[in-house]
Amino acid sequence: MRKSIILFLALTLVCGASAFAQGRKGLRINEVMVQNDSNYVDDYGQHQAWIELFNSTYAPMEISSVYITNDPAEPKKYPVPLGDVNTEIPTRQHVVFWADGEPNKGTFHLSFRLTPGQDNWIGVYDANGRTLIDSVTVPASLLPNTTYARAIDGEGLWEVRDGGDKYITPSSANQIVDTNGKVEMFAETDGHGFGLSLMAMLIVFFALALLCVCFYIISRVGASVSRRNKAASQGIDARQLPKEEKPQHDSGEEIAAIVMALNEHLNAHDRENTILTINKVRRAYSPWSSKIYNLRELPRR
């Protein structure tokens, strides 16, 4: 029994580690700036080269213990430290690492620098230091304050962005959507909004008509059940009687009169279960006559 439990725990650990590793395969290098003279600043207010990573999966991703490097011969150059809550990247979100060669400044400051004017290879390795998750070679022709980025987050071709028509987007989506296709379609086909207003009113009226039909059906079913119960109490079968001879449903006035008669004669209600009866207490009560307010000891001079 003990061996079975140990084997089960071992299999669970292996499966969990495998699933965790599979999730990290969705980590992508998304945008890189090699020479930063007047662009994005770090948490110390300085301009440094930076590397943006993107979580391309649809689940949060913990990237602590992965390795970031600029040398394929040294894959474990910078291990992302454990214990930092910010190393968990939310779904389809970004995180920026600063390539300033000063890891003592914090988790997101790498232990290496990028070199302007030459090709810069960047790789991300899994926790074992051997599995390459993603890599990119930034060309030497990249100008200062420009980035080498994917056209679409986590996928697509790489392109140079100079901040003009193609935005530089650290910690945000590479593809900025500033239009809404549905809104543009309505603007073209229904510029004054008459069609949209008519559609909204039709939806409201249809919903009200549907509610009326539902309430009517419920009331008819309730009346039929009430008549059947009334006929059963009189010992007759309502289904065998002609429609004009079937017992009718009691009106509200009749029910109120019966309830009032029961209350006056027996001081009781019928079988309704939502009635709250408050009876007046005959004996008057005053807190001044309660024993708890009496003197416990006679006063002394």
Average pLDDT, the chain: 82
Q: Residue 26's closest CA among 68, 54, 64? A: 54
Banded model confidence at residue 20, pLDDT cuts 50, 70, 90: very low
Q: Residue 100's closest CA among 144, 166, 44, 152? A: 44
Q: Residue 196's closest CA among 183, 211, 210, 209? A: 183
What pLDDT digit, counting tens, does each position of 52-89 carry? 999 999 999 999 999 999 999 999 999 999 989 999 99
Q: Residue 152's closest CA among 182, 180, 178, 177? A: 177
What pLDDT digit, counting tens, does each position of 108-163 carry? 999 999 999 999 999 999 999 999 999 999 999 999 999 999 999 998 899 999 98
Query: Considering all CA atoms of the chain, what is the largest pairwise distance in Å, rounded to the nearest integer?
Result: 107
Residue of higher predicted confidence among 16 and 252: 252
Contact indicator for 93, 56 with CB cutoff of 8 Å? no
Contact indicator for 214, 207 with CB cutoff of 8 Å? no
> Does the pLDDT of residue 280 top 70, yes or no?
no
Q: What tokens were used for 119?
A: 């090709």
CA distance 188 to 44: 49
Q: What tokens were used for 248?
A: 């009718």
Q: pTM of the full predicted structure? A: 0.57
How far apart, in Å, are the Cα atoms of 286 and each of 279, 281, 293?
18, 13, 11
Which of left, alpha, beta for 65 (phi over 0: left; psi -120 to 50: alpha)?
Answer: left
**CA angle, 281 then 287 then 293, to 5°:** 145
Banded model confidence at residue 266, pLDDT cuts 50, 70, 90: confident
Strand ranges inside 195-298, DSSP E: none
Q: What tokens were used for 246?
A: 């079937």
CA distance 267 to 279: 10
Query: Which pairs from 17-25 meet CB under 8 Å and 24+ separation?
Result: 20/62, 21/126, 21/127, 21/131, 23/57, 23/59, 23/61, 24/61, 24/63, 24/66, 24/126, 24/127, 24/133, 25/133
Environment class of 96 (CB within 10 Å of its CB; exposed 0-12, middle 13-18, buried 19+): middle
Residue 141 backbone phi and psi in degrees, to 5: -80, 0
Give kind and range of the element (H or E) at residue 227: helix 194-233
CA distance 248 to 225: 11
